Amino acid sequence: MMNIAVSDWVVATTREDELVHGFVDSIATPLGIGFVYVIASDRESTIGHIVDVNLASMKKLPEGGVTTAEQAKSMIDLALSVRDEAWFRELSEQLLMLEAKSEAGGDAGEGRTQAVNRISADLR
């Protein structure tokens, strides 16, 4: 049996053969069924609802931190869709830090590169 737990992010296929992406809300192990809160699906009417799926059809998504501003923005969208204010605030702080880091690293590096290029161009 797969090692799926409540709150894991998963991708699964329902009995109606619709692809769903969401997090595990609860599990009925004896029945082999997991209940997934859907945040994305190929059937829009399913989004925002809990659906039951066979545990065997669930694929656990890899756990990983937010490392880019784009990932943070996507996760903020998810936090808003599930109305998780604490997660939204945490992700917003991470986004601000990532953008500040990007700006500090990008501007300083570009400034040095441009200055070196101008000086070496003027010396030739």
For 80-89, how does the pLDDT look when each residue is reduced to its tens digit (9 = 90+)? 877 788 888 9
Task: Give the model's confidence band at 2: pLDDT under 50 very low, under 70 low, under 90 confident, else very high.
Answer: low
Please, are residues 2 and 55 in contact by the beta-carbon 8 Å criterion? yes
* Residue 47 predicted with pLDDT over 60: yes
d(CA 120, CA 74): 42
pTM: 0.58
**Residues 81-116 as b or e (16 or more Cβ within 10 Å = b):** eeeeeeebebbeebbeebeeeeeeeeeeeeeeeeee
d(CA 107, CA 56): 49
Query: What is the Rg, in whole angstroms, of the alpha carbon atoms belonging to the chain?
Result: 22
